[in-house]
Structure 1
Amino acid sequence: MAAGRLATVQAVFLSVILVSALLVCKVSCVIQYTGSELLNLRSISHSDLGPSTSLLEEKLRDLNISSHSTPWLEAKKGRRSGTFARFRRHPYRPPLPALLLSNVRSLRHKMDELQLMIQTNKDYSDCSAICLTETWLDPSVPDQAVTLPSFTLHRADRSFKLSRKAKGGGVCIMINERWCTNSTELTHVCSPHLEYLTVKCRPSFLPREFASIILICGYIPPEANANTTIAELANYVSSVENSHPDTAVIILGDFNQTNLSSELPGYHQQVTCPSRGTNMLDHWYTTIQGAYRAFARAPLGRSDHAMLLLIPQHRQKVKSSKSPTKLVRFWYH
């Protein structure tokens, strides 16, 4: 019993000695300076604070080695690549027009949403033209009611006398004035099995290989005779090519199940994504292979067709082809 008490007393005594030693060490480690001593530190050179490195620098200088690190140079930064990045850098000077295609199913009831979309989404407002099918317009609807700011409207409403149909149909093309201010309507056709509108555009900027751009926006009803319709449209496209040989012709619209490639083998389908469910009903044809890249967007309003945004990825001949070289021989006397 006495041995246990002695051990406890010794442990407490050792603990007190250890804590006292720690406090003394902590106090002794604190270095205090007066105000005058701190001011005198200014006059002390860096050589007084540490070993001299002059000998090491002299040796490095003899070996042509700098003791200082090479100053950091800012790396040259490139630009983002891709179809969208190139288009966004020069939205109003594209090699081919950037187009927005949609089957709206009554344009008059979707003008508010279309105008809001143009104001809030720069990709849509920078489009060169907006092509719409099934506008369901008639002469009682004025142009001011369906015209977007900074866009020129060209419309072709369905005619009851020509189509024998009272409602539906109709196509229109809206040209962005920031891309082109010189647009002319060439013709518009309305029949029971085919409707199309043709607009010729001459923008201020255009590649050398094209004199102008011709847009043909069409609509083929589901019940139309495919063979007759395709043959009629192909004949018209051939006449346009003959009258405008140096023009880029773009054919687009809601063609349902018809395919123009059989009658126009020189034209290539640019749309690779479905526009209604799993079906590709909206088509886009040009004579340039891989000229566009298609992006499916949300439908406008309650339309059952997705909007198609096609961004040009065509490379101009001046940029894609190498500069020609010519071998010249010299004879010296």
Structure 2
Amino acid sequence: MNLSGIIYSGNFNNHLRPNNFHISKKSRRKHRSGWQKALKRTPIHLTTVPVIMNTNCRSLSNKIMYLQSLMSTDTYHNTAIITLQETWLHEMYDDNLISLKDFILFRQDRHCCNKKNGGGVVTFIHSKWSISNNVCFSFSNDFIDCITVKCRPKHLPKYKHIFVTNIYISPSCSLSDLSNFSDEFTMFAAANFDNSPFVITGDFNSSECSFLEALGHTNIVKFPTRLDETLDLVFTNDERVYEILERFLINSIKIFFVLSHSVYLDLLLPLTPVNMLASTFLTPSVKHSVQF
């Protein structure tokens, strides 16, 4: 029994309200246009897995100014990673000539090439998205260029790092050269990737990529990237996380986005362990096609 005062029930208090008294129900705020619109409004330093832009640039030096202006637009301002192939760079090009504001540059120029121009890959990592980056694998010969950057995002609670690999394979690459590269990359992936998230982008020029599928990678590009052929591919170890969106042309070159579905999740979905020593090479296949 409460001796300090009188306690009234909720129903009794409701009867004391005037007849014209009305409490409006708060409507739930929703994001118009769905998750893609919400992703654009998310600050880049709060994204868990990166938004990636990938393209074959065919000479980076004469497109760097346009690329810088592209990053300031509303569509591309939250891009965390840019992967470019056929940069056509060499040791005479200083990093300051091809740098982007707020991005960290990682490059692998073509070595031992008899041609004047050709090959090369560049990966840009946004400084606000990842607090620590370092090159953990690089490869270059007359036909193949590759670089892998290990990133530590600010908001990655479950895994320690995200691996981003950028590959260019020339159309004239022989099977023996491709085999040498696949053996070296497989040894690196088996020792380092473990169950961490990783994305492999690049221009493969219809080369055999069964060694990537044997490592547990899945290609998620299902539209032609050059004329009627799909030469530019994106492999990941969890196809549920990403979706590919095709964008517009830059000097007859297509750009496409790798967008993250799990940007609002605190933890990424657990990944199924992969047998890195699998010897059976599977033919390319994709379980789900992307709708545009």
TM-score, length-scaled by structure 1:
0.68
Per-residue CA deviation, residues 200-230 of structure 1 (Å, 9 max, x unaligned), is 111221140x220111101011121357526
Q: Where in structure 2 are the equivalents of 1:16-35 lying within 5 Å? A: none
Q: Where in structure 2 are the equivalents of 1:138-157 lying within 5 Å? A: 138-157=90-109
- Bigger CA drift: 70-79 or 105-114? 70-79
Does the 8 Å contact 2:221/2:244 carry over to 1?
yes
Is 2:250 aligned against 1:309? no
Per-residue CA deviation, residues 245-276 of structure 1 (Å, 9 max, x unaligned), is 24322111111112424652311112223222
In structure 2, the residue corresponding to 1:232 is in which secondary structure?
helix
Tell me what 2:38 maps to: 85
CA drift of 1:198 comes to 1.4
Task: Name the aligned partner's letter for residue 97 of structure 1.
Answer: P
**2:140 aligned residue (190, 197, 201):** 190
Tell me what 1:220 maps to: 169
In structure 2, the residue corresponding to 1:181 is in which secondary structure?
strand
CA drift of 1:69 comes to 4.6
Larger Rg, first or second structure (1 or 2) = 1
Task: Name the aligned partner's letter for residue 71 of structure 1.
Answer: H
Gaps of 5+ in 1: 1-63, 322-333
Partners of 2:133 and 2:61 in 1: how far apart? 23
Does the 8 Å contact 1:230/1:259 carry over to 2?
no
**1:69–1:233 CA distance, 2 compared to 1 (3 A):** farther
In structure 2, the residue corresponding to 1:109 is in which secondary structure?
coil
Partners of 1:211 and 1:133 in 2: how far apart? 27
Partners of 1:178 and 1:318 in 2: how far apart? 20
Ranges of 4+ aligned residues in structure 1 off by more than 3 Å: 66-70, 314-321
Tell me what 1:272 maps to: 222
**1:219–1:227 CA distance, 2 compared to 1 (3 A):** same
Superposition RMSD on alpha carbons, in Å? 2.7
Gaps of 5+ in 2: 1-14, 271-292
CA drift of 1:149 comes to 0.8
CA drift of 1:192 comes to 2.1
Partners of 1:267 and 1:87 in 2: how far apart? 27
**1:133–1:274 CA distance, 2 compared to 1 (3 A):** same
**1:233 aligned residue (176, 179, 182):** 182
In structure 1, the residue corresponding to 2:63 is in which secondary structure?
helix
Does the 8 Å contact 1:136/1:169 carry over to 2?
yes
Task: Name the aligned partner's letter for residue 272 of structure 1.
Answer: K
**1:112 aligned residue (65, 68, 72):** 65
CA drift of 1:70 comes to 5.5
CA drift of 1:306 comes to 0.4
Partners of 2:40 and 2:74 in 1: how far apart? 11
Partners of 2:173 and 2:62 in 1: how far apart? 27
What fraction of aligned residue pairs are identical, expressed as a percent?
Answer: 23
Tell me what 2:191 maps to: 242
Does the 8 Å contact 2:45/2:154 carry over to 1?
no
Larger RCO: 1 or 2 (CA < 8 Å, sep 6+): 2
Partners of 1:264 and 1:235 in 2: how far apart? 15
